[in-house]
Amino acid sequence: MKKLSINHYSLFILLSLAFTACQPKETTSFQYNVDKFYDLEILRYDVPEFDSLSLQQKQLIYCLSEAALWGRDILFDQNGRYNLRIRRTLEALYLYQTSKQGEAQTSNKVEDPNFDALERYLKRVWFSNGIHHHYSEDKFLPEFSQEWFVAACEKAGVTYDPAILPVMFDPAVMPKRTTAQDGVDLVLNSAGNYYGEGVTQAEAEAWYAAHKDNSPEPLWIGLNSKLVKNENGEIEEQVYKVGGLYGEALEHIVYWLREALKYAENDAQKLAIEKMIAFNETGDLKTFNEYCIAWVKDLDSRVDYVNGFTETYSDPLGITGTWESMVNFKDLAATKRTETISKNAQWFEDHSTTDPKYKKEEVKGVSAKVITAAILAGDCYPATPIGINLPNANWIRKEYGSKSVTIDNLVHAYNEAAKGNGFNEEFMIDDETRALYEKYGAVCGDLHTDLHECVGHGSGKLMPGVTKDALKEHASTIEEARADLFGLYFLGDPKLVELGLLPSADAYKAGYYQQQMNGLMTQLVRIEPGKDIEEAHMRNRQLIANWVYEHATNKEVEIIERDGKHYLKVNDYEGLRRLYGELLAEIQRITSEGDYAAAKEMVEKYAVKVNPELHQEILARYKKLNLAPYKGFVNPVYTAVRNADGEITDVKIDFSEGYVEQHLRYSKDYSPLPDVN
């Protein structure tokens, strides 16, 4: 779908985790389910062991969380130049309607169905950080009319910019946040606010080509900037920094990062935070490289964070990073699993099915851990990844290593919220398969994520002269497929039982069945009828499943019909593993050689088109379950307890805040940017 750096923050919410109840932990009275609307469900996540952290660690988490929350406006603006104006107008109208200043307003909420539609639309805008669906990136339209909206604003005394009306109500205006359509100008036809008005794809690509850094330690030109046209029609760069674009928000972020410095756990962590502060203040990309190196070297701190312009999914040219943040701390017990994988990274590299010339002779610095998320923000909120693999720059990964994490408390929240929803009974072929999945599904899901992040993204190498952007718009799909295949192939290796990572030689079958069922069938519930698959992770999963299905000449895997319903049937799990290995070898070749033509053919043949008859059937079966295919979260609320001198003496955590209340509070307390940036 979109071009990305080869190694990146990956594995957005896996469909199986959103739908199915896997091997559970001990159930508590914690209330995971918060709200449901359209195709979305809001959950809350627990933060186990927070109370056992030291005061210094709690103080650090509090300050880093404040730094995280101040970036919210940045993402809204990056996702669309009208998003802040639309959000603020909707919120003002909503607050007027729900105010208790008179009977009219109170009864209006009850009697006017347009208000209910307004509330649902606003909830979607909050969830997607704008007016385009967070996953499909199609614009969603209000259920209330433009006429009602205008009249309601006038009645409430809410001032609005008339320019937002066609953006909100006309389906032909800015229909796609990030387009991947062949033959069109990707910049002009994307609604994302990564380029100024009138900037074309050709102009942007020419500017990036002219400023490309080909040094051994290259700067990521364009990571933190927006290309615009000046009054003479010339392309120039507006840098995200204090005093520059988004400076009002970055000032607050810098303030709280400075506060966090007071509670840094060690000198390595302190250095990384100092470098991030300097980067936000200057926008200097050399400083950003220094930050990445310092951050990846900080292996001893229990508290960690992501904060800044990181992933390039939403930029149609895959250059500029979206703002995101996650504050977390290490799950000491669960990290033993990822540490085992990391210690054996070279073994995995040496024993993969890829051609030896594409393998790394020495795998360096693959640091892996399981974490507990403490706060989610920016492009990690409300929808969030369940795994992290950073930094993105290949040369830093090669020379200094990377950090890979699995976010355990979020996975646990998905699983707890999904218990007893009927999904497995509807889509898995028989009791034997369901029993296998219930027994081993959770461990396979965790382990596949770990393999994907810890060793999958870090495996292989590019041939001399091949750049990270060689695969262009197909880079993200191919990279996700490469990491997924690496994980799948080794999930079925006896080595994992030997290492104590899998409890049984048959356990891997649960992961294999889920991958094929999801890729061929069940992830289609996220696609509207008649639409192609466009999101990179979904394309990756279908690419793998379709390629394997087509090449299963001995019926290693097939789709059968029973009582008018279709089911996945796996006849030969060892043969399925062999096919994963064959595809892994080809995907690595494409990546290593930068074979754009082969990548394009692979993606277009296997990853994009949907079987319409099967799609309709899956949608109908899923609809009967009354489930929401997409999940997101509300954050806990952290409150600093201070003494008479203003010093933080404790940090309290509360889980009672609702979805609407949280977003209204964030808009009130953490919204420094002007309407137009």
pLDDT tens across 170-182, in order?
Answer: 999 999 999 878 7
Conformation bin of residue 222: beta by default, left when phi > 0, alpha when psi is -120 to 50:
left
In this structure, are strands 225-229 and 557-562 parallel, antiparallel, or unpaired?
A: unpaired
Do you find a cis peptide bond into 494, omega within 30 degrees of 0? no
Sign of the CA dihedral running 358, 359, 361, 365: positive
Q: Which two structure tokens, joined as six digits, stand for 268? A: 């390595």
| Contact indicator for 8, 315 with CB cutoff of 8 Å | no
Q: Would you state the pLDDT for residue 464?
A: 93
pLDDT tens by residue, 407-438: 989 988 988 887 778 899 999 999 999 999 99
Q: Would you state the pLDDT for residue 150?
A: 97
**Residue 309 φ then ψ, to 5°:** -85, 105
Give the pLDDT band of residue 135 (cuts 50, 70, 90). confident
Task: Report, as an integer, the average pLDDT of 10-25.
Answer: 37
Contacts of 666 (CB under 8 A, 6+ apart): 69, 72
Q: Would you state the pLDDT for residue 450?
A: 86
Q: Would you state the pLDDT for residue 268?
A: 98
Contacts of 111 (CB under 8 A, 6+ apart): none
Residue 460 above 50 pLDDT? Answer: yes
Q: Would you state the pLDDT for residue 26?
A: 43
Q: Distances from the Cα of 239 to the Cαs of 69, 92, 245, 553, 594, in angstroms?
A: 21, 31, 6, 54, 30
Residue 16 above 60 pLDDT? Answer: no
Task: Report, as an integer, the average pLDDT of 107-126.
Answer: 84
- DSSP bridge partners of 566: 561
Q: Would you state the pLDDT for residue 111?
A: 65
Q: Which residues of 169-186 are buried (b: 16+ CB within 10 A; e: fewer)?
A: eeeeebebbbbbeeeebb
Closest Cα to residue 6, out of 390, 333, 561? 390
d(CA 235, CA 242): 22
Average pLDDT, the chain: 91
- Torsion on CA atoms 426, 432, 433, 436, rounded to nearest 10: 120
| Contact indicator for 93, 156 with CB cutoff of 8 Å | yes
Give the pLDDT band of residue 12 (cuts 50, 70, 90). very low
Q: Distances from the Cα of 160 to the Cαs of 114, 188, 665, in angstroms?
A: 18, 25, 21
Contacts of 162 (CB under 8 A, 6+ apart): none
Task: Report, as an integer, the average pLDDT of 9-32.
Answer: 46
pLDDT tens by residue, 468-481: 789 988 998 999 99
Q: Would you state the pLDDT for residue 28?
A: 52
Contacts of 379 (CB under 8 A, 6+ apart): 75, 129, 310, 311, 314, 322, 323, 324
| Contact indicator for 240, 194 with CB cutoff of 8 Å | no
Instruction: Give me Rg for the CA atoms of the chain.
Output: 24
Q: Which residue type is seen at 44?
A: R
Find tokens 């394309």 and name the residue: 539
Q: Would you state the pLDDT for residue 521?
A: 96
Closest Cα to residue 372, out of 633, 28, 47? 47
Contacts of 9 (CB under 8 A, 6+ apart): 306, 310, 311, 324, 385, 388, 389, 390, 392
| Contact indicator for 409, 48 with CB cutoff of 8 Å | yes
Residue 569 above 80 pLDDT? Answer: yes
| Contact indicator for 3, 475 with CB cutoff of 8 Å | yes
pLDDT tens by residue, 604-663: 999 999 999 999 999 999 999 988 889 999 999 999 999 999 999 999 999 999 999 999
Percent share of the chain, pLDDT over 70: 94
| Contact indicator for 484, 612 with CB cutoff of 8 Å | no
Task: Report, as an integer, the average pLDDT of 334-362.
Answer: 93
Task: Indicate whether this model's pTM tops 0.75.
Answer: yes
- DSSP bridge partners of 371: 330, 407
Give the pLDDT band of residue 353 (cuts 50, 70, 90). very high
Task: Report, as an integer, the average pLDDT of 6-31.
Answer: 43
E runs forming strands in 479-549: none
Question: For 100-114, 269-283, 552-566, 629-643, which range has the lowest pLDDT when averaged over its residues?
Answer: 100-114
What does the DSSP 8-state code read for residue 240? Answer: B
Q: Would you state the pLDDT for residue 102?
A: 40
Q: Would you state the pLDDT for residue 106?
A: 46
Residue 13 above 50 pLDDT? Answer: no
Find tokens 């990384």 and name the residue: 272
Residue 163 above 70 pLDDT? Answer: yes
